Every structure is written in C-alpha cells, then in structure tokens.
Structure 1
Amino acid sequence: MLALGVAVVVIGIIAVIVMVVVMNSTSSEQPTANETADQNAQAAPPTPLPGENPEVKTPIQPPAQQAPPPTATPTAAVVPPPILQEGDDCPDSTLAVKGITNEPQYVVGDQPKFTMVVTNIGLVACQRDVGAAVLAAYVYTLENQRLWSNLDCAPSNETLIKTFQPGEQVTTEVTWTGMGSAPNCPLPRQPIGPGMYNLVVQLGNLRSAPVPFILADPAAAPPPADANGAPHLPQPGPVG
C-alpha cells in the first residue's frame, strides 16, 4: 500500500509538471490580444502626408501678395503768380494777340491788308512795347511752311510803349504785296500762287491762332466789289 501511494503521488507530480510545460508553450506560441493589436498597428502603412500621395489633391494656396509699402508723393510747391501793380510791364499771361484779314478771299495779284490786334485780358493796367520792331505778321502754308513776314524786307527799330487799360486793344495794319520773303529779304522774291494760307500774328513769344484765307487764280475768281458794286481797291499802308 505504501508503495502504491508513493507511485500515485509521483504520477500526479509528473502530470502537473506536464500540464505546466504545455501551458507555457501555448502562451508563447499565440500572442495576446494586445500584442496582436500592436503588431497590426506596426504592419499597417503610415498615413501619407499631404502631397505625398499623388491620388490626394491638396489645394494650392496662392502666395500672399506683398504690396510695396506706400511711398510719399512729393508735392510741388505752388508758386503764386506775381502780384501785378498798375503801370508794371504786361506779362504774356495778361495779353492776347490775333490777326484779322480784310477779306476771306483774294486774287493772285491783290495786296491783302492784315490787322494785328493786341488786347489786355488782365485786370490791371500795364504797359508793353507793341512797336513795329516786335509786332509781326506772318503768312504760312497749311503745312506750317513760312512764306512771308512784314519784318523781312521792311525791318524797323520802332518802339511803342503802350499803356493798356483792362480790356483795351491796340491795332496795327500791314499790307502784303503777295510776294514771298525770308529774313534779311534775299532776292529774287517769288510771287505766291493760288491756294489756302494762314495768317499768324506774333508779339514776342505770344502767337495768335491761325486765320485762314484764300488766294484764288485770277481766271477763276471775279474781282471783289464793295457794297456799292465798285471794284475793291487795296488800302494804302505799310507794304512788304
């Protein structure tokens, strides 16, 4: 009996040892739930960053426009015009010049009469030289080619200091012989043929607006007549 009891105890111990060994081997072969989750997380590919996956379209943000800093705009100093005292010389800004033809149309061979007008358009009486040395009439083609001036062949040193009241005018008349001319009056002078031309009056740097007039062919235009029907004759005056 003693021997039988010892054998049963030994068999029981061996059975316990076998069970422990089997359980340890099973636990080492099959991972736990936490281990399985960790392994799955490590095995899954990482989430691509924006721009790494060509299938994922990342919106393109336009670069911010860098506006240049505002710069200060220089302001030009406004210089008030000089105060004009009565009796001072008339500046160009207070005068106006214009030309007047006595007829809108002439015939080649006529001697057109031109009137030069200078007007004080300012508010104060002032004075200015309007003598024959500085006041001139010019004839130009429509293409602005200079043909004649009253100072070319009849230059003058005459000065005429005129005191202009506001709105006052000074008029001077000259007669054109219909011949071309140039400074210092080179010869020979050629007659100006039929066509349309401009009269321009100049005082110093002041120039009038062009006044058009016509020179007609004598065979094509009847002689002009005055109000009484008499043939019009040129008026005497300075010629050039």
Structure 2
Amino acid sequence: MAQKQVRSTRPSARVYRRRRLAVLITTLVLVGLLAWAGVGIASLLRPAAPAESTADPAAAAPGAASSQPSGVPSPEPSEPNGCLDEEVVVSASTAQTTHGPADDPVLVMTIKNAGTADCMVNVGTSQQEFSVTSGADRIFSTSDCVEDPTDTEITIKPGASETARFTWTRVRSAPGCKFVAAKPRPGTYGFTAKLGDVSSETARFELR
C-alpha cells in the first residue's frame, strides 16, 4: 500500500525573513514611542505631593464671615488642542554623518511645537515614517512593514521639541513588506522624517 506524502508546513526562508523584518521595524519604532511615553509614565509612578491647605484661617473663627463667594464654581484647566500642521516642525538628522562598514546609521526625528500654546501631537506608528533614499532610488521606509499601526498623542509645550531614534540596519524594503535581496552599497544617502502630512528636509549621510 503506497504511503501518503506529508507536505511540509514550515514557512519558506523568504516568508521567515519578511516576518523578521516586520517585527524588527515595529520593535524599533516602538522604542521611540516608549521614550516619548516615558515622561507620562514617570509622572504616574511619582508619589503625589501632600495637598496644601487652602482654608482661610479667619473663616475657622466662630462668627467670622466667609470671604469666598458662594455658588461660584472653580475654573477647570482646559485641555490642550491638537497642533495645526503649520505649528509642527519636523526635522531629520543622523547621530553621525559618516558610517564605517560595521556602523548602522541612527536616524533621528525631531518634532517641535512652533506655536504659542501647548498642543497635542499624534506621534504613533500610524503617523511617523523614517525613509532612506539614494538619489531617486527608494531604499527603505518604516511604513513598509509596520503591523497594527497605533495612535499615541503627547502634549508639547510651545518652543519645545521631542525626538525619536531609529537604527537602520542597512536593509532594503518594499511596500507590502516584500523581501528585497539587494543590499545598499557604500555611498551617500538621504534620510527624510515624516509625521502625518508634515515632512522634514532631507539629511545626508555616508556609508563606507
């Protein structure tokens, strides 16, 4: 009696590499988000300061008239509005301009509130993009392999800025997280940071 052939269910090497690239990009992008979120987490873990007494000593005396008007609610602090595109300035830079064969470029996205009031910015993986080009050749983009993009809103004070870093491991990518076998060669490359509809100017760096 002929034996049935059992078809292998293991993923191919190409599928495995594509999944690994997607996990790598998502993890590295989340590192930048955790750096942003760390400020809020630290404030939550910090013990609350004891409340100061606001009572009027004269009001505690018998028969003393209250100096506070009755029936007037205390004003509540207003929540900051979302930043307008013209209030957000995105810039791109690299930790160093020249990289040896063993150095992976660290791409830095800086987001500045150029407005005059506190405002909220969505810095989630649904909005941010780190892309690398060589002339007209599109080399790499974090948007190619991000799975389950998220929204993360932070408040930035006027004139203040926040940064996120992404370590590019010298791989190429393609839309849909398709595997690209070719490796970037030594030469000059451009890095552009993008947040939503706001893009930075291109920062140049060199691979040796």
Letter in 2 for 1:165: K
- Stretches of structure 1 lacking an aligned partner (at least 5 in a row): 1-84, 217-240
Paired residues for 1:61-140 under 5 Å: 87-140=80-133
**Residues 108 and 153 of structure 1: CA distance in aligned 2, closer, same or farther (over 3 Å):** farther
> Who is 1:211 aligned against?
203
With a CA cutoff of 8 Å and minimum separation of 6, indicate the structure with the bigger relative contact order: 2
After superposition, give the CA deviation of every residue in 1:199-223 in whole Å (9 maximum; x if it has no partner): 100011111011000011xxxxxxx
Which amino acid is the alignment partner of residue 168 of structure 1? A
**What residue in structure 2 maps to residue 144 of structure 1?**
136
Matches within 5 A, 1:22-33: none
> Taking structure 1 as reference, are residues 156 and 195 closer, same or farther at Cα in structure 2, changes over 3 Å only?
farther
Query: How far 1:136 moved relative to its partner?
Result: 1.0
- Is there any run of 5+ residues in structure 2 with no aligned partner, and where? 1-77
Instruction: Give yes or no for contact 2:125–2:146 (8 Å, CA) kept in 1.
Output: no
**AA in 2 matched with 1:207:** S
Q: TM-score, normalised by structure 1?
A: 0.51
Map 1:29-48; keep pairs closer than 5 Å: none
Partner of 2:152: 160
Contact 1:86–1:124 (CA under 8 A) maintained in structure 2: no
* Identity across matched positions, percent: 28
Give the alignment's Cα RMSD to 1 decimal: 1.7
Q: CA deviation at 1:153?
A: 2.5
- Give the whole-Å Cα distance in 1 for the aligned partners of 2:169 and 2:162: 23
Residues 160-239 of structure 1 mapped to structure 2, 5 A cutoff: 160-216=152-208
Quick one: structure 1 residues 122 and 205, their matched pair in 2 at CA, closer, same or farther if it must change by over 3 Å? same
Task: Pick closer, same or farther for the CA change 1:147–1:188 going to 2, 3 Å.
Answer: closer
Distance in 2 (alpha carbons) for counterparts of 1:108 and 1:150: 22
| SS of aligned partner of 2:112 | strand
For the pair shown, the structure with the greater C-alpha radius of gyration is: 1
Q: Deviations over 1:99-150 (max 9, x none)?
A: 1211111134532111111000011111110112211111011x23221012
Please list every run of at least 4 consecutive aligned residues from structure 1 whose deviation after the TM superposition is greater than 3 angstroms.
none
How many residues are paired up?
Answer: 131
- In 2, the alpha carbon distance for the partners of 1:176 and 1:159 equals 22
Structure 2 SS opposite 1:151 = helix
Q: Secondary structure at the match of 2:82?
A: coil
Counterpart of 2:86 in 1: which secondary structure?
helix
Distance across 2 between alignment mates of 1:210 and 1:155:
26
Quote the offset at 1:166 in angstroms: 0.1
Tell me if the contact between 1:201 and 1:208 (Cα under 8 Å) persists in the aligned partners: yes
Distance 1:187 1:193 in 2: 17
